[in-house]
Amino acid sequence: MGNRLDALVVGAGVVGVTAALALQQRGLKVMVVDQQSVAQGCSFGNAGVIAPGAFPHGAYYRVADLPAALLKVNSPAALDWASAPNLLTWGAKYARAARPDIVRHGTNLLHHMCRDALRSYELLLGADLPPINRRGYLAVHLAHSELKAATRLNAIRSSHGLAVRMLSGSDLIEVEPAVARVAAGATFLAESAHVTDPQAFVASLADVFMQRGGLLQCDRVEGLENKGNQGMIVRGVRENYVPRTVILATGSRANHLLADCAHHIPLAAERGYHLELNVEPGFITRPTALPSLGVVLTPSQRGARIAGISHFGLPGFRPRPRLLTCALERVRKLLPVLQARPGFEVWSGERAATPDSLPIVEQVPSNPSIFVSTGHGHAGFTLAAVTATVLADLVTNRSSSYSQQLSSNRSGLNKAH
């Protein structure tokens, strides 16, 4: 390649495309390659929420609660049992990361990063930022017994400076009338934002990247080869690449290529699902979660989607669409008007899940020209522009307050600390 690339980003999900924009903003010549087109992995079908705060899994699921959560027939959490033997190490790390002090640290860090989310998108895109709806987020609590847990989480949100309101009765009817009838109360987060078509949003970002001179190519990367002084060869099915740096933004598949540099990070695949609902646009006007049922009703281009479920396994494990159709049946007991939109099937995508629910953004210790950005779990659409900046800081040798906290040798993931 005559004009050598400064950076090759592998993966054109929201994490890879924003990373490419951030590197380009630092003056680097960047190419993105993906085995599919833009945002066809997990970034295709998320709920589109850009959240002002987030909690690690450990804040919801104590280790003692896990067997019941994974075994209960009606649970929104499930395990792929064929994957279970290979998830033991991950599970042990989860048990450690669920310690109260580590959950507290993760909660603080996630809230800090989420607070920068919208601003980070604005800084990356400027006037090219596609439309984002700023209508808040509603979590509907179905029973009075849920209100106590919600009040505890809301106190933590408030301590992080978030505007939190508990709604009931006529307030709720005004905010989201379609669900008001079934609610014992609701949490309203006014600073939350959303997009109705996450895939189209990421595709617009990729267009901006190309208009600014970036290169985008369809290719599947099969291996990384360190050639010493000659640099790094990235072996694609269509072509080989010799960039100065490689950024792996391959979501749940990150370890596949990291194996070539003898590096491994603790990742499980946490499959989530969505289905288009047969309702008119405007049925709901903001993402509306039903936390006890593990799903979010979120506005889509056609009307609304139901999205959610936490189904854990090894990357590439078999989907179980019934997990979502059963969740829809449970929702329909409360809101019978909700039905699957004819002609649509259940979609699923693998979130890259770390044991402590924090992303991993790091330089590979054994090979300083390789970087990885993954592990965004439930918050990748929210955090992509934030971690893109952290990544660009690492690649361009700028100091970043987040870099140690997002490396895979952080204390939350390792016994030694």
Ligand X SMILES: Cc1cc2nc3c(=O)[nH]c(=O)nc-3n(C[C@H](O)[C@H](O)[C@H](O)COP(=O)(O)OP(=O)(O)OC[C@H]3O[C@@H](n4cnc5c(N)ncnc54)[C@H](O)[C@@H]3O)c2cc1C
22 part of the interface to ligand X, by CB under 6 A:
no
Q: Which is nearer to ligand X, 47 or 162 (CB)?
A: 47
The C-alpha atoms of residue 183 and residue 173 are separated, in whole angstroms, by 10
223 part of the interface to ligand X, by CB under 6 A:
no
Return the H-helix or E-strand segment holding 203. helix 198-211
| Radius of gyration from C-alpha coordinates of the chain | 21
User: Residues 187, 199, 255, 374: which binds ligand X (CB under 6 A)?
Assistant: 374
Q: Taking contact as CB under 6 A, which single stretch among the options 129-137, 166-174, 227-235, 271-279 is the one that binds ligand X?
A: 271-279
Q: Taking contact as CB under 6 A, which single stretch among the options 64-72, 269-277, 327-335, 388-396 is the one that binds ligand X?
A: 269-277
187 part of the interface to ligand X, by CB under 6 A:
no
Type of residue numbered 358? L
14 part of the interface to ligand X, by CB under 6 A:
yes
The Cβ of residue 401 has, within 10 Å, a number of other Cβ atoms equal to: 9
User: Residues 195, 261, 379, 413: which binds ligand X (CB under 6 A)?
Assistant: 379
Where are the alpha helices (H) located in 247-321, listed in sequence order?
254-258
Q: Which is nearer to ligand X, 33 or 183 (CB)?
A: 33
Nearest approach, Cβ of residue 221 and ligand X (Å): 4
Residues in 340-359 that interact with ligand X by CB under 6 A: 349, 351-352
The Cβ of residue 49 has, within 10 Å, a number of other Cβ atoms equal to: 24
11 part of the interface to ligand X, by CB under 6 A:
yes
Terminal Cα distance for the chain, rounded = 44
Burial of 407 (0-12, 13-18, 19+ CB in 10 A): middle
Q: Which is nearer to ligand X, 28 or 202 (CB)?
A: 202
Q: Which is nearer to ligand X, 94 or 147 (CB)?
A: 94
Q: Taking contact as CB under 6 A, which single stretch among the options 12-20, 83-91, 149-157, 164-172 is the one that binds ligand X?
A: 12-20
User: Residues 164, 221, 277, 346: which binds ligand X (CB under 6 A)?
Assistant: 221
Three-state secondary structure call for residue 278 = coil
Bridge-partner residues for 288, per DSSP?
138, 297
The C-alpha atoms of residue 109 and residue 54 are separated, in whole angstroms, by 9
Residues in 307-336 that interact with ligand X by CB under 6 A: 307-308
Nearest approach, Cβ of residue 258 and ligand X (Å): 11
User: Residues 7, 9, 15, 32: which binds ligand X (CB under 6 A)?
Assistant: 15
CB 279 within 8 A of CB 304: yes
Tokens representing residue 48 in the block: 């589109």
What DSSP string describes 315-349?
TTPPP-THHHHHHHHHHHHH-TT--BPTT---EEE
Nearest approach, Cβ of residue 144 and ligand X (Å): 27
Q: Which is nearer to ligand X, 151 or 325 (CB)?
A: 325
User: Residues 1, 36, 122, 152: which binds ligand X (CB under 6 A)?
Assistant: 36
What's the gap between Cα 162 and its chain centre? 21
Provide the mask over 137-166, with x wherever binding to ligand X is found by CB under 6 A and - wherever it is not.
Answer: ------------------------------
Nearest approach, Cβ of residue 271 and ligand X (Å): 7
Q: Which residues contact 257 (CB under 8 A, 6 or more apart)?
A: 10, 221, 223, 224, 248, 250
The C-alpha atoms of residue 362 and residue 409 are separated, in whole angstroms, by 10
Provide the mask over 41-80, with x wherever binding to ligand X is found by CB under 6 A and - wherever it is not.
Answer: xxx-xxxxx-------------------------------
Q: Which residues contact 373 (CB under 8 A, 6 or more apart)?
A: 15, 16, 19, 247, 248, 249, 359, 360, 361, 387, 388, 390, 391
376 part of the interface to ligand X, by CB under 6 A:
yes
Q: Which is nearer to ligand X, 147 or 266 (CB)?
A: 266
Name the residue with the smallest CB distance to ligand X: 380
User: Residues 196, 382, 389, 408: which binds ligand X (CB under 6 A)?
Assistant: 382
220 part of the interface to ligand X, by CB under 6 A:
yes
User: Residues 245, 378, 392, 406: which binds ligand X (CB under 6 A)?
Assistant: 378
CB 281 within 8 A of CB 299: yes
Residues that bind ligand X in the complex, under the rule CB under 6 A: 10-16, 33-36, 40-43, 45-49, 220-221, 249-251, 253, 272-274, 307-308, 349, 351-352, 374, 376-382
